[in-house]
Amino acid sequence: MSLIIQAFAWIFNPIHYTTTALGTGIPDALTQHLILTGLSLAVAVVIGVPLGLFIGHTGRGRSVAIIASNAARALPSLGLLALLLVILPIVPWLPSNYLPNIIVFAVLGIPPLLAGAYSGLESVDRQTIDAARAIGMTEWQVLTKVEIPLGAGLLVGGLRSSVLQIIATVTISSLYGQVSLGTYIANGLAQHDYVQMTAGAILVAALALLADGILATIQRFVVPRGVSRGASKKRNTARGRGIAATPGKPIMEGN
C-alpha cells in the first residue's frame, strides 16, 4: 500500500516534470506516447476502416478478414516489435525506432478497426438495407445514409479497442528503448526502483482509462436516436460468425 502512496508522491514530484533519473520528464514521455499513438492510429484507420467498410457492405472477403483478425490477435506484439527492430533499417527522417514501432503498432491496431467496421455493417437489418436499395438509393447512398449511421456504434467500438491496443503496445515498446510512459515501468524494473515502476503503471493506466472514457462517450453519442429509442422487434442480421459482437461492447483485443 505504501508503495502506491510513494508512487503518487513520485508522480507529483516537480522534479519529474523536468528530468528524472533517466532524463525524461513526464510531459516528454506523455507527448511521445501520444504522438506514437496518434500516428499509428492514423495509419491503422486509413487502412482498416475503408477495408472493413468494403467487406461489411459487399460481404466479400469476410473469411479473409476473420482469419486476419484472429491471426493478429494471436501474434505476440513483443515478438513483432523485437523482430522488426532488428530487421528493418532505420529511416533517416523519422526519430530513431519510429518506423518499425509504428508498423507494429498499426498492424496490431488494424484488426479491431476492421472487425468494428465490418461487424457494425453486418449488424444492420438486411431488410432495411434491401428497402433502401428498393426505393432507389445508390450503393454509396446505402452505405453512407443507412449502413454507416446504423453501424456506427460498433464502428466506434472498434476504434475504441484499437486505441487501447495501440496505447498498450506503445507502453510495451519502452522495453526496447522507445520513450513513452512505459519507460518508467521499464526502468523501474531494470533498476529495481519499484516506486518509479508503480508510478509508470499508474500513469499509463490513467491514460488508458481517460482514452477509453472519451471514446465510450463518443460511442454513445454516435448511435442514432431512433435506434436506441425504438424497440427493435425482429432483427434479421447477416450471420456474423467469428467475432461475436454485442452492440455497445465490442470484443476488445488484448495487450
Partner 1 sequence: MNWGWIWANFFSGTDSNTGIWGLTLDHLSLSALPIVLGFLLSIPLGYWASRSRVARSVLLSVFSLLYTLPSLVLLVVVPVALGLAIINPANVIVALTIYALAIMLRSSTDAFMSVPADIREAARAIGFSSWQRFISVELPLAGPVLVAGIRVVSVSTVSLVTVGSFIGIDSLGNLFHEGNESAFPTEIWTGIVAVLVIAIVFDLIITTAGRILLPWNSRGSRRRAAKRELAEAVA
Partner 2 sequence: MIEFKSVSKLYPDGTHAVENFSVVIPSRQTTVFVGSSGCGKTTLLRMINRMVDPSSGEIEIDGENVQKTEPVHLRRGIGYVMQNSGLLPHRKVIDNVATVLFLNRVPKAKAYERANELLDTVGLDRALANRYPGELSGGQQQRVGVARGLAADPNILLMDEPFGAVDPIVRVDLQAETMRLQRELDKTIVFVTHDIDEAFLLGDQVIILEKGAKIAQKGSPEEILANPASDFVASFIGADRGKRRLTVDTKVKPSGDDVVLIDAGGYAAGVISAPDGKLAVGSASPKSRSVSNKTSQAGDA
Contact between 238 and partner 2 per CB under 8 A: no
Contact between 214 and partner 2 per CB under 8 A: no
HEC string of 154-174? HHHHHHHHHHHHHHHHHHHHH
The closest of 59, 75, 56, 61 to 113, measured between CA atoms, is 56
Contact between 247 and partner 2 per CB under 8 A: no
249 binds, among partner 2, partner 1, none (CB under 5 to 8 A by kind): partner 1
CA distance 98 to 100: 6
Tell me the per-residue interface mask from 62 to 81 with partner 2, x by CB under 8 A, - otherwise.
--------------------
Query: How is residue 161 written as a grid cell?
Result: 479497442
CB 251 within 8 A of CB 73: no
CA distance 77 to 83: 10
137 binds, among partner 2, partner 1, none (CB under 5 to 8 A by kind): partner 2
Nearer to partner 1, 3 or 94 (CB): 3
Stretch in the footprint of partner 2 (CB under 8 A) among 43-51, 68-76, 86-94, 122-130: 122-130
Contact between 23 and partner 2 per CB under 8 A: no
Count helices and strands in the chain by DSSP H and E runs: 11, 0
Contact between 143 and partner 2 per CB under 8 A: no
Cα torsion 116, 118, 124, 125: sign: negative
Residues found near partner 1 in the complex (CB under 8 A):
3-4, 70, 73-83, 85-87, 164, 167-168, 171-172, 175-176, 182, 185-186, 188-189, 194, 197-198, 200-201, 204-205, 208-209, 212, 239, 243-244, 246, 249, 251-255
- For residue 239, with 0-12 CB atoms within 10 Å meaning exposed, 13-18 middle and 19 or more buried, which class applies? exposed
**Interaction site with partner 2 (CB under 8 A):** 125, 127-128, 130-138, 141, 145-146, 149-150, 224-227, 229-234
